[in-house]
Chains A and B, each alone.
Chain A
Amino acid sequence: MIRNRAWRRYMEERIVIRRMARAVCTNRWWRGFRDVNDINHQRPTIAIYIGTEIHFRAKTHTTTKWDTKHKVKYSPNKDQGYYRDEGNGQTRENQKRIFLKILKENGLK
């Protein structure tokens, strides 16, 4: 499978939906939820959260550090240990660093 921009977008979308689905279960209040169109909803669904603070929070929380453990990055490297440096070091950042080093050695950069 080609992991291009469309794939990354799809994966991010999937994760945002998952996070918003979690909010559907937890953010219930007797006064309801006021959406971005200023309409009150007693039982909000995922679509209701679009454009609200919950949606933007779900979009921006994308790290794998201990203080943000509920936020799973969409990267293919997400299974390689708790921190990004762990595992066999085959992270995107590391590979990029190695690649740049090779380029410099050969006088291409």
Chain B
Amino acid sequence: MDLNNLIPDKFRALVNPTWVVKGKFVMFKKYEHIPVCFVEGDIVYVFLDNRVSNAIVKLVKHLINIGVEFYFTTTELSNPKGVLEEDYHDKVIRHYLYSHAQVEFFDGFKKIDFDLINNMVKWTDKENCFDKVKANYESISKKVERKEYDYFSNNYSYEYKDEIREEFQSLYRHIQISKII
């Protein structure tokens, strides 16, 4: 697969130098070149990188349009250091769920009508590691629902917005439904 085809049409190298192909990665320039995706076999792996969230959303939209099979992965894999083999599945699942809680991806994927959780379930089926989802879900869920109490105003404040917290309360059910379908 030619990596140049993965760059959204509007941002091809001749028109816009912010999207380039370097080595085995497609990169997006924001101060530095940040890896956005790579190809392994016939499958495209996209780094769910919150630093360049807009670029990722545009790339996903383009990948849906050209009809390529794609999954997401953690940004740690763009580092030559890599990750330990026994941590690999946990890290990717955790990153999927963490990114789903980020407002940039939550709103961005909603706008293009893309289901990130469904994609995660497909990936876990492919890698045969669905049993690791629940532990990671519980860990991220705790983080999302974290609240602080202000004694003087008698109010609770939350780090994540209401919509995301409500989504996370029933997310595991959504994961199980995606698994059955």
Contact = CB atoms under 8 A, between A and B. Distances in A.
Nearest to A13: B31
A20 B51 CA distance: 15
B49 to A, nearest CB: 6
Interface string A33-51: 0011111000001110011
Size bin of chain B's contact surface: 10 to 19
Interface in B156-176: none
B32 A46 contact: yes
19 contacts: A13-B31, A16-B31, A35-B51, A36-B51, A37-B48, A37-B49, A37-B51, A37-B74, A37-B98, A37-B99, A38-B98, A39-B74, A39-B75, A45-B32, A47-B34, A47-B51, A50-B31, A50-B34, A50-B51
Among B30, B31, B52, B74, the one with the most A-chain Cβ atoms within 10 Å of its Cβ is B31
Interface of A is mostly: loop
A50 B31 CA distance: 8
Contacts, number: 34
Nearest to A39: B76
Nearest to B101: A38
A16 B51 CA distance: 15
Interface residues of A, number: 14
A47 B49 contact: no
Interface string A1-45: 000000000000100110010000000000000011111000001
A107 to B, nearest CB: 44
B50 interface: yes
A36 B50 contact: yes
B93 to A, nearest CB: 13
B75 A47 contact: no
Contact of A51 (B32, B51, B76): B51
B100 interface: no
B49 A17 contact: no
Contacts of A50: 30-31, 34, 51-52
Given A50-B51, A51-B50, A51-B51, A37 B31 contact: no
Given A17-B31, A37-B75, A51-B50, 10 more contacts: A36-B50, A37-B49, A37-B74, A37-B98, A37-B99, A39-B74, A46-B31, A47-B31, A50-B34, A50-B52
